[in-house]
Every structure is written in structure tokens, then in C-alpha cells.
Structure 1
Amino acid sequence: MMDLPLSLLAHVAVTFTLAGLVKGMIGLGLPTVAVGLLGLVMPPSEAAALLVVPSLVTNVWQLAAGPRFGVVLDRLWPMMLGISLGTWVGTSLLAGVQAEHAVRALGVALLVYALVGLAKVSMRVPARAEFWLSPLVGAATGVVTAATGVFVVPAVPYLQALGLDRDGLIQALGLSFTVSTLALAAGLAQQGLLQGGIAGASAAALVPALAGMFLGQWLRRRVHAETFRRCFFLGLLALGTVLAVGHGE
């Protein structure tokens, strides 16, 4: 990592600090912010590889903090299986012949997520539909994860539509993001994109991510949550637009 230009190191450090801050404030957003900002200066495959350790540690932390792991896992295991299979099938999208389109795909994913968040779309999934819909949503999330390195679409809107209470939703998000991170790491390793150097850089990125997360938790008690949430989605909308239209052209 120290062989990288100083400007790129600074970009990575600031990116993971900001991503951790968002995670600390609202409980999600670390992979979205990190991959989105890193996508401005490197291919999404490299950005996703840098994300692995910070995402895994912070999401396992979030998952372990809740009291209902068994209940959440029993309800959502079909979705987790779909995420794993979808990521495995879609890994070629990140590193194969379609990799040149990954930046625009990332931009579109961020745009969709930002628009859904700003619109405050309220949906409810009928209990009878969960058994067949969960694996489909999981598989779609896995493909998007493999193609862009972002875990949130359509997983987050779907989990929010299940009617979980606050603690259950936070733990469900932690479970979904943990499984997505592990599946993405396995896919990257299979493609030879998670070798010693990049793994070490990912571990180093954990430091600014945790610093940002602690700062975000501190700010959460001092900044109106809805104000921050709106600024977050507006920022994603702008970033997604830049990536989707081709920032390098």
C-alpha cells in the first residue's frame, strides 16, 4: 500500500473515514460510500477488494450487537443463500469481459438507492410471499454486489419492507452485509483479486473506517438524524450521476 502515490493514499484514507462516519451515524452506508468514492479513482474490482476487511469487521460488530441472531437467521436464511449464489454467479461481471461497464453499473446502483431513499418509498412484503421472494431478492443483491461492490440494492429496501422492529432491522442489515462481504471476498479470491498486497491494504483501511465510525456514533447524538439522512442520499445521487454518465470522459 505504501507504494501507492500519496494523493491516492489520502483519497483512500478520507474515503474510509467518511464511509465509517456514515456507518456510525445511520447504521449502514460504508460499502456504498467507500466503493462509490473509490470508483472515481480506481476500477470497482479494486475498490471492492479494499472494502473487504473494513466491511466485514464493522458488519460483524453490528450483527453481534443485536439480541436476536437466531430468529433473524431462521427468517432470512433463504435470502442469505440467494446472496451467496448470486454473488458467486455474478463475480465474472466484476472481473471479466464486462468489467469496463462496472463503473456505470455502480453509478446506476447508487442512483436507484438514492432515489428510493429520498422518495421514502414505503413498502410491505406479505408474510406469505417471503419464502419465494427472499431468495430472489438475495440473488439480485448478489449479482449487483458482484458487478459493483455495493450490497444495498435491492436488499435494504426489501428488509425495510419486512416490518421488522428497529433492533431486528439493524441486525438483519448486519447479517445481510456480512454474508455479502464474505461472498464478495470469496468471489474476488477466486478471480485472483484478493492477494496479499490488496488484503494488507484492506486491513490498513480498517483504521480510518473505525475512526470514522466512532466519530459518526458521537455525531449521531448531536445532529438531527433526518437532516443527515437527506444529505447522505443527496450526496449519493450526485456521486451516482457522475459515475453513471462517465466521469472519465
Structure 2
Amino acid sequence: MTTFFSLYQTIGWHLTVLVLFAFLLAGTVKGVIGMGLPTIAMGLLGVAMLPTQAAALLLIPSTVTNFWQLAAGGHLRTVCKRLWPLLAMIAIGTGIGSCMLGMGSAHGMGRALGAALFVYALCGLFLPTLKVPPCAETWLGPLCGLITGLITSATGVFVIPAVPYIQGLGLDRNQLVQALGMSFTVSSLTLGVGLFCNGALGEAEMGASLLAVIPALLGMLIGQWLRQRISAPVFKRLFFIGLALLGLHLLNGG
């Protein structure tokens, strides 16, 4: 039991409150729009703690909520068959990045994280949904996977460019939800392996990450309740605006 709380005892009560709030908010966003948990959590936690520490805390909540998302829809085999080149290159790219790039200094990674969040927000706000022709999937999928893996290893955020690519495949709603869940699951697991190999994931971080599952799941339940009562497009726009502001804050040095 001591292991579960040791990291929170080290960082103090004020950062512990931030962790709980970050995962509650991130889970709520994911419950409403089906994504956003790692992005929101990394962005908020990256303001106040080492990015490697934030990424370690993210590991179990992200994996659990992604498996939840992955289990729904009934199209798992179809999704895997279509996306395996993307998924394989995400794993390879994350592995290469973890060995060659890794998560560097807090200052440098904070700026990289801010840039990733800001670019992703601008894409969500202003770019139309991409249309990926079937003939381009054979080369574009692996390329997007490799780039996503490298960005994941450097920032802890695994949405660029995998999410725009998956959204451009023309999948139906259930397939899209499962495809995003599959992509996020592979990214979070390979990021966890990279953190472990670099010595950034020990018993204290795993215990703290396991406890963070509670606010993340509670947030998802709240988000699913909100989804029936608010406009998802309006919520998504507010999400991207908030993400852009957070990215600018991190770019300016936090």
C-alpha cells in the first residue's frame, strides 16, 4: 500500500490534487468525444511536473480506458486487418524514438509538448477532415505510424498524425471508436516499454498510475452522461481552443 502513495507523498498535496483533477477532466473529455485523455493529462501535468513523470502516471489510466473503448463496437478483427501497418509502425517508431531521442530535458520536452498540442489544436479547429484514398493507405499508414511513434517518444502525446489519418479512412462511428482505441492502446503500451527501458517507470510510478485510474474512469462516466445532454461539436471546439491555449502556455516556458 505504501508504494501506491509514495509518489504522491513525494510530490505533495497540491500536485496530487492537480493529478486527480487532470485525470478527471481528461476522462470526461474522452467520455464525450471518444479521445483526449492522454492529450489533456499530459498537457496539464506537463505544466507542473517532469514530462517523463507525467507520462508514467498516464500509462495505466490510458491503457485501461483505451481497452474499454476498444472492447465496444464488434469490429476488432476488421479494424486490426486494416490498420496493422499503422499500428506496427507506431510501435517501431516509439521504440526507435525511445532509444535515440527519449524524453529529454524538462524544458525542451515541455516546449515540444506545447508545440504538439498547439499543432493538433489548429488541425482540429481549422483543417477539414482528411480523405484518405484506398490506394494511399499502403504507404501513408506506415508513414503516419512512424511519425506518430517518434512524436510519442518525444512528447508523450500520440495523436499526431495518427488521429487525422484514422478519421480520414471513412470508417463508420463504431469502427472509428475502435480504431482510435486500438491506436491509443498500442501507443500507450509501447511508450510504457520505452519509459521502463529508460528507467523512468518503477514501482512508485506504477502504483501512482494505478490509483489515477479511479478519477479517469469517473471522468469517463461523467463524460458519457454529458454526451447525451450537450452538443458534441460545440464541446469538441471548446476542447481544441483550450488545447491551443495550453499548448501556447507550454511553448512560452510554462
Give the TM-score taking structure 1 as reference length. Answer: 0.96
Q: Which amino acid counterpart does residue 135 of structure 2 have in structure 1?
A: R
Matched, 1:90 2:102: no
Q: Which amino acid counterpart does residue 138 of structure 2 have in structure 1?
A: F
Aligned residues: 246
Displacement after TM superposition at 1:29 (Å): 0.1
- 2:162 maps to which of 148, 155, 180: 155
Aligned mates of 1:132, 1:193 — CA distance in 2:
33
SS in 2 for 1:12: helix
For structure 2, the 5+ residue unaligned runs are 1-6
Displacement after TM superposition at 1:53 (Å): 0.3
Matched, 1:204 2:211: yes
Aligned match of 2:140: 133
Aligned match of 1:217: 224
1:44-83 → structure 2 map (5 Å cutoff)? 44-83=51-90
Displacement after TM superposition at 1:160 (Å): 0.7
Cα-to-partner distance string for 1:133-179 (whole Å, 9 max, x where unaligned): 11110010001111111111101001011111111111100000000
- C-alpha spacing 1:2/1:108, structure 2 compared with 1 (3 Å): closer
Cα-to-partner distance string for 1:73-126 (whole Å, 9 max, x where unaligned): 011101011000100111143334x66411111101101110011114222111
Aligned mates of 1:50, 1:235 — CA distance in 2:
22
Give the TM-score taking structure 2 as reference length. Answer: 0.94
Aligned match of 2:4: none
1:164-243 → structure 2 map (5 Å cutoff)? 164-243=171-250
> Contact 2:103 / 2:155 at 8 angstroms: preserved in 1?
no
Give aligned-pair identity as a percent. 54
Aligned match of 2:3: none
Aligned mates of 1:143, 1:100 — CA distance in 2:
18
> Contact 1:86 / 1:140 at 8 angstroms: preserved in 2?
yes
For structure 1, the 5+ residue unaligned runs are none
Aligned mates of 2:51, 2:209 — CA distance in 1:
14
Structure 1 runs of 4+ off > 4 angstroms? none
Aligned mates of 2:146, 2:53 — CA distance in 1:
22
Aligned mates of 1:156, 1:121 — CA distance in 2:
13
Aligned mates of 2:65, 2:41 — CA distance in 1:
13
Aligned mates of 2:244, 2:158 — CA distance in 1:
16
Aligned mates of 1:78, 1:100 — CA distance in 2:
33
